Structures are given as C-alpha cells and as structure tokens.
Amino acid sequence: MANISVIGAGSWGTALALLLHKNGHQVTVWSVIEDEIEMLKKEHEHKDKLPGVRLPEEMAFTTDLEAAVKDKDVLVLAVPSPYTRSTSHNMAQYVQDGQVIVNVAKGVEENTLMTLSQIIEEEIPQAEVAVLSGPSHAEEVGRGMPTTIVVGAKRKATAEYLQNIFMNEVFRVYISPDVLGIELGAALKNVVALAAGIADGLGFGDNTKAALITRGISEIARLGIAMGGKAETFSGLTGIGDLIVTCASMHSRNRRAGILIGQGYTMEQAMAEVKMVVEGVYSAKAAMGLAGKYNVQLPIIEQVNAVLFEGQPAKQAVENLMLRDKKIENPLLPWEED
C-alpha cells in the first residue's frame, strides 16, 4: 500500500483518487478551495465536477498543502494546467529529495513554451517527475469503465512502480520513456478538439470530423517529432487515441467549448458556459509559438488561433483550410517514373 496525495480536486483528480483508493492505497485529496474541501468532507461526492460518484469515508480531504505533500510516497498533480507552475512553486518547500510527482494535467505554458513536467522540474528540482495520460474521461474512470492509459517516466523503474500503483482490472496502464511525446500529444489534441467542436457547431458531419482527426494527428506528430518526441507515441494511446476521444465525446470540455464557438459564442462566452478550464484555449497560442520556434506548419491549429484570438469567423477558417495550396498526403511515398 502506498501513501498518496492527489493535489487538485477537480473531476480528474477526484476520479483518480477513487481509483487509487480502490487499489488499496491510502489517499488524501487537497484543494486550495475551502468550500470544495468542505463539500467533499460532508457529501463524499463532488457534486459540481463528478456528480453521482461516491467517495469512501476513509478518504481524507484537506486544504493544508504541507500536510498533503510531506511524507507521501507519490504526489498526483491534478490542478488545471494554468496553475501548474504556481502550485508546484508552493509545494516545493515540502517536497523531499526523490519524491515522485505524477502530472496528470495537459498543456503547454504560453509564455515559456515549456511542457508541464518541465515546469515541475524547474520549480521542484529535487522531485522525480512522471506523467500519466491517455484517452480517459474522468466521468468514465470514476464509474469504473474500462480505460487504457500510459505512464511516462525517464527511469523504467519509476514507470513500473507507478504502473503497479494505478493498474487494475478496469484501468490498464502501459509505460513509455517518451515523456515529451506523451505531453505534446496530450496538450495539442485539446486544440484540435476545439476545431472538431467548432465544426460540429457549424453543423458539419462525420467527413469533417474524420478529416480533422486525421490531419490533426499529422500536425501534432510533425511538431512533436521536430521537438524530439517519438513517432510511435503519436500513433499510440496518448496521440491518436486521446485525440479521437477528445474530438468525439461530449465529456470533452474542449469539444463542448468548440461547439459553442461554432454556434456563434465568443471564446470567453464559451468558457463561461462550460464552467471548467478549457485547456485547449491556453495551449493554442503556445502551439503556434512552438511552430515558429521549430519551423513547422500547423494549419488547423493556426486557424483555431485565428478564431479564438483574432475574431475570424469559424466558417472562414474552414474555407481557409479547404482552399490551401494543393498537397501530397505523404511526400515520402515514391512514385513510378513517368
């Protein structure tokens, strides 16, 4: 049995806390929001973020960050990506040398273009940082629906340790050394999911969705490989797998926000309506920053940025994509000689 704290009491943090408790671990859930912790203590259910999923009496809830961090075997960092740096900074003074932190949020920091694990390593250099990602909606994990994910870590021993902690009969865990590829797939798929939602909001159909998913993973992989990620990662669970589920499901806050934008909402109005952090909005600008840094074309993500931040009509973005210069789908495939 491991002694584990989940730092962040949103839907994903709550679902993982329940999973870890069912696996026999001692679990504490931390949130900076006092009302949220009081609700969890009293109701043993996150009525706002994960309604209908009961939490056990044995689970501890606290707003005391020092108590949540000290002497724990594993820290699961589950705060929304915009708060990863500030939360890591506040945690740092309590983290012991070699303490394992598993980041489960998804995003890229806009001003530094750093992945979330890079941020944690910068703020908490004494920690050993790993990531957990894959096609895994909290609403389904919380209800015990079969799910597969990937744990990424630099050391195989750390990945295997976390694999044993998280894995059970409904939560299958693979391991990978490609931490960068995992994180880029996780962050950038949220931007493509916004595009998929916008297409849905415009009333387009399955053909459009398939095109966005297929060309979207091509963009993600192109940038990811240029940055040092591995091609195999983008064809796996944290690449195409996570992209499919985020583009297709109404559990996806990014797709839901995109639908509203396609229906005429502004980005701010859509985020207010969804009532959760829409991480693709925060990653969209960062993705274009990375595209410029690594000289990679990201036409879908570029058009999403134009809609979100430049006031471009969604229909115009689709037309811009459809009327781009003619292309070969895969330039590496050989042609017969004329």
- Enclosing domain of residue 81: 3-177
Read off the tokens for 199.
């297409």
DSSP 220-239: HHHHHHHHT--HHHHTSIII
Same domain as 313, residue 244? yes
State the pLDDT at residue 338. Answer: 75
Same domain as 110, residue 241? no
Task: Single out the residue in 145, 160, 177 at which a domain terminates.
Answer: 177
DSSP state of 237: I
Q: Is 159 within a domain?
A: yes
Same domain as 122, residue 82? yes
Q: Is 55 within a domain?
A: yes
270-307 pLDDT, tens digit per residue, is 988 988 778 888 899 999 999 999 999 999 999 999 99
Query: What percent of the chain shows pLDDT beyond 70?
Result: 100
Mean pLDDT, residues 137-162: 97
Same domain as 208, residue 168? no
Same domain as 205, residue 317? yes
Greater model confidence, 323 or 60 = 60
Mean pLDDT, residues 56-70: 97
Read off the tokens for 281.
């909005």
Q: Is 206 within a domain?
A: yes
Q: Is 149 within a domain?
A: yes
Q: Is 236 within a domain?
A: yes
Residues 246 and 195 sit within 8 Å (Cβ to Cβ)? no
Read off the tokens for 90.
């506040």
Q: Is 335 within a domain?
A: no
Domain of residue 22, CATH code: 3.40.50.720
Same domain as 130, residue 259? no
Residues 49 and 29 sit within 8 Å (Cβ to Cβ)? no
Q: Is 334 within a domain?
A: no
Counting the structural domains of the chain, the total is 2
229-255 pLDDT, tens digit per residue, is 999 999 999 999 999 999 999 888 999
Would you please indicate which residues are annotated as catalytic (active-site) residues?
A: 189
Question: Going by DSSP bridges, is the β-strand pair 60-62/147-152 parallel, antiparallel, or unpaired?
Answer: unpaired
Domain of residue 293, CATH code: 1.10.1040.10
Same domain as 60, residue 90? yes
State the pLDDT at residue 324. Answer: 86
